[in-house]
Structure 1
Amino acid sequence: MKIIVITGSPHRNGTTFLLTDEWIKGAESQGHEVIRFDAGLHPVHPCTGCDHCRSHEGKCVFDDLMTQILPALLSTDLVLLSTPLYYFGFSAQIKAVLDRFYAVNEEVIAKPLKAMLLAAGGDSDDWAMGALEHHYETVCRYLHWQDTGRLLALGLNTREDAEASSYPRQARLLGASIH
């Protein structure tokens, strides 16, 4: 299976990166091909709603990481969205990527994809991921993606918190569960 991973953390040594690395190890252990895009480390311009893409065969006015992500998205079987929990939702970096899917909306909607969500946050309240989950579910519903799994890691303020938890193992198992 061909998989793209889109991360939204700007911290290479953070909790989300650790969990994503483990998830990828699990997926690759099952023979899946994984392509990773670290949107949190590369500028992705926000969609301005100019509709240039609509009259130019999906080509955006911005030349950034999305020129690599969109073709990969259209040729994949599964998308992992990996985000830190920022103010109860996706990081701005992931949100910018999602908004830019607009350029190829029809093609994405027409291609049935599987999706997974991986999120990490310092909050420990059981309701803290609710808005993020709802947004993810809405994106999946709109794009006709099939949600095939989630890992919502709470109480992870630091990488050390994550390393001392069961979440890295859970991430690896989730990645290995893909079929």
Structure 2
Amino acid sequence: MNILVIESSPHKHGSSNLLADQFIKGAKESGHQVTVFDAARADLHPCLGCDFCGMNGPCSQKDDGEKLKKQILDADMMVLVTPLYYFGVCAQLKTVIDRFYSFTGKLDSKGMKTALIVAAWDSNEWTMTEVESYYDTLCRYMNFKNQGKILGTGCGNVPMTQRTGFPRQAYELGRSL
């Protein structure tokens, strides 16, 4: 399977990317091809809502959006990776998701397999409620086929994350595909 991992953390060596690395390790060990798109370092601008694309064409913006679109459409699975920012995905991942607009029809009809990996500082039982609901709604709307979620609470920095079971869970999710 061709898997596209979309990392979005401004902290290249932070907790969410540590979890992504473990997922990637497991997926590769199971024989899958994995590509990483780093949304935090890409030249990617927010959707303007201009409808130039008509939901099925090129975007009016000249940035890494067309490269990302090709990578997504060529993939069998997409993994959305984010730190939790105020109970939602970070702006870098939200920009990626908003840019789905230019190929919504193609993406919706694909029935894309997806997974979500989130790292949060807090460990309250309600910490992941909103981001999980957002992802579930996105899956429902875009006809995505959820393959799993790693909702890493208590993962405020790399040492904290390493002391949790979430790196192992991420690895196991990658291995299970």
Aligned to 1:66: 65
Structure 2 matches for 1:150-161, cutoff 5 A? Answer: 150-161=149-160
Scaled by the length of structure 2, the TM-score of the pair is: 0.96
In structure 2, what residue type is equivalent to 1:152?
L
Gapped runs of 5+ residues in structure 2?
A: none
Aligned to 1:127: 126
**Is contact 1:23–1:174 with CA below 8 Å preserved after alignment?**
yes
**Is contact 2:78–2:114 with CA below 8 Å preserved after alignment?**
yes
The root-mean-square deviation of aligned C-alpha atoms, in Å, is 1.2
Aligned to 2:45: 45
Aligned to 1:101: 100
| Per-residue Cα deviation, 1:151-170 (whole angstroms, up to 9, x for no partner) | 10001111111122221111
**Is contact 1:84–1:91 with CA below 8 Å preserved after alignment?**
yes
| Per-residue Cα deviation, 1:116-159 (whole angstroms, up to 9, x for no partner) | 00000001111111110111011101110111101100011111
Shift of 1:63: 2.0
Identity value in percent:
41
Aligned to 1:83: 82
Asked if residue 112 in structure 1 is aligned to residue 111 in structure 2, the reply is yes
| Per-residue Cα deviation, 1:69-89 (whole angstroms, up to 9, x for no partner) | 101111211110011000000
In structure 1, what residue type is equivalent to 2:49?
G
**Is contact 1:39–1:65 with CA below 8 Å preserved after alignment?**
no
Question: Distance in 1 between the 2:168 and 2:69 partners?
Answer: 30
Aligned to 1:137: 136
Question: Distance in 1 between the 2:106 and 2:25 partners?
Answer: 29
Aligned to 2:161: 162
Question: Distance in 2 between the 1:47 and 1:131 partners?
Answer: 22
**Is contact 1:9–1:84 with CA below 8 Å preserved after alignment?**
yes
Q: What is the SS of the residue equivalent to 2:99?
A: helix
In structure 2, what residue type is equivalent to 1:147?
N
**Is contact 1:6–1:80 with CA below 8 Å preserved after alignment?**
yes
| Per-residue Cα deviation, 1:98-117 (whole angstroms, up to 9, x for no partner) | 00000001101111111100
Name segments (4+ residues, structure 1) moved above 6 Å.
Answer: none
Structure 2 matches for 1:17-36, cutoff 5 A? Answer: 17-36=17-36
Question: Distance in 1 between the 2:95 and 2:140 partners?
Answer: 19
* Equivalences, count: 177
Question: Distance in 2 between the 1:40 and 1:121 partners?
Answer: 17
**Is contact 1:79–1:116 with CA below 8 Å preserved after alignment?**
yes
Shift of 1:43: 3.3
Question: Distance in 2 between the 1:110 and 1:164 partners?
Answer: 40
